[in-house]
Amino acid sequence: MNRSKIIQLLIILAAITVIASGLSRLAQSNSMSLTEYASQEESQNSPLSGPAVGVVFSDWPDASQNRLPENSTLSEIPQDDHVPSPGDADTSPDDTPSSPDDKPSSPDDALSSPGSKPSSPDDAPSSPGGGSEEPPSTLVGAFLNGTSQTDQRVEYQEGFYYEPLSDRLCRYITGISYPAESGDENAAPPAITLDQLRYVHILHYDFEGNSVEGELICNASIAQDLVEIFYELHRNEYMLEKVLLIDEYNGDDTASMEDNNTSCFNYRVVEGTQTLSRHAYGLAVDVNPLYNPYITYEKDGTEIVSPAAALDYADRSARFAYKIDDEDLCYKLFTSHGFTWGGNWNQSKDYQHFQKSLP
């Protein structure tokens, strides 16, 4: 091998050595031990770590947009003349809040379906007996009364109490179950005043066997009777499908009956007459009305069943669930408290109906 070839070979070997050394240093700078790798994985998976690789902070939403105001709750005092829905939590800072006592302008403003109510933890009834805090009520009456009447509340048993109607609840029912002012100076005032009524809160078993809240408005003279009666019904697991204010049905007695809603106060006349019903005085209760209809008779003996959907339950000799008769616990409790039963009437039969005389 001549000298020139030897020199060329040495130059090539030197170049290979330099390149290999560079590649080795590069590999070492990008490598890590297993300990270092585990440490990095733990840091990336930590809840306190920053965004994942490939995500920059500018991609993240502004946290201030999702933050509640300081000291605020998820539900707020009703504003803009309606009971708030979950989407109403945020209000413009320029909005002037209306009075927290403002009632919904109509039942449709306050609810999407009977028995479905937003509630504010601040306005929910306090837990009976001052015990542990109860979850907010979903009932419209309990929501509107809130804790404003607690000092006048009469509690019979836990969950069973009565109290005056708050201004908010009065405004809610006025124009629905309670007559609004007509503007006619010569018009007779309502036969009962709002301060003669009481809000009644109960518990009852629904048709799924769940113990749930219920509420009625009644005459002050029967409020104690009602908490005692409904307490005994609850204690014996007597089933009532719904116990909601008639206002949730826009004061429509037929709609309430068809929904099998147990109710009390509704300023209305007896069907087919101009005479005020005992319901107008808050002195009558209709219990499971779909299964216990109101039946009148034509001169030819034809039966008229109300509601019409209750036709299958007009035959009282048949056996079916939720039927009220003189062996039924509901009948025994109401009559023992001095109520009369519409099922004992001669000219008509009102199997759902229990009433007391005017005080």
Assigned domain for 314 exists: no
Is the pLDDT score of 280 beyond 90? yes
Instruction: State the total domains in the chain.
Output: 1
Assigned domain for 161 exists: yes
Assigned domain for 36 exists: no
3-class state of residue 232 by DSSP: helix
User: Pick the residue with more confidence: 272 or 132?
Assistant: 272
**Per-residue pLDDT reduced to its tens digit, 35-56:** 443 444 444 444 333 333 333 3
pLDDT band at 62 (very low <50, low <70, confident <90, very high): very low
**Per-residue pLDDT reduced to its tens digit, 202-223:** 999 999 999 999 999 999 999 9
Name 183's Cβ contacts closer than 8 Å, sequence gap at least 6.
none
Assigned domain for 74 exists: no
Provide the domain limits for residue 279. 97-181+189-289
Lowest mean pLDDT among 37-46, 48-57, 164-173, 249-258: 48-57
Assigned domain for 308 exists: no
Assigned domain for 252 exists: yes
Assigned domain for 109 exists: yes
**Per-residue pLDDT reduced to its tens digit, 104-118:** 444 444 444 576 544
pLDDT at residue 42, as a whole number:
45
pLDDT band at 4 (very low <50, low <70, confident <90, very high): confident
Residue with structure tokens 């309670």? 178
Sheet with 284-286, side-by-side order of all strands: 284-286, 353-355, 340-341
Assigned domain for 197 exists: yes
Residue with structure tokens 């509901």? 330
pLDDT at residue 25, as a whole number:
52
User: Pick the residue with more confidence: 358 or 288?
Assistant: 288
Q: What angle do CA 84, 86, 90 make, to 5 degrees?
A: 80
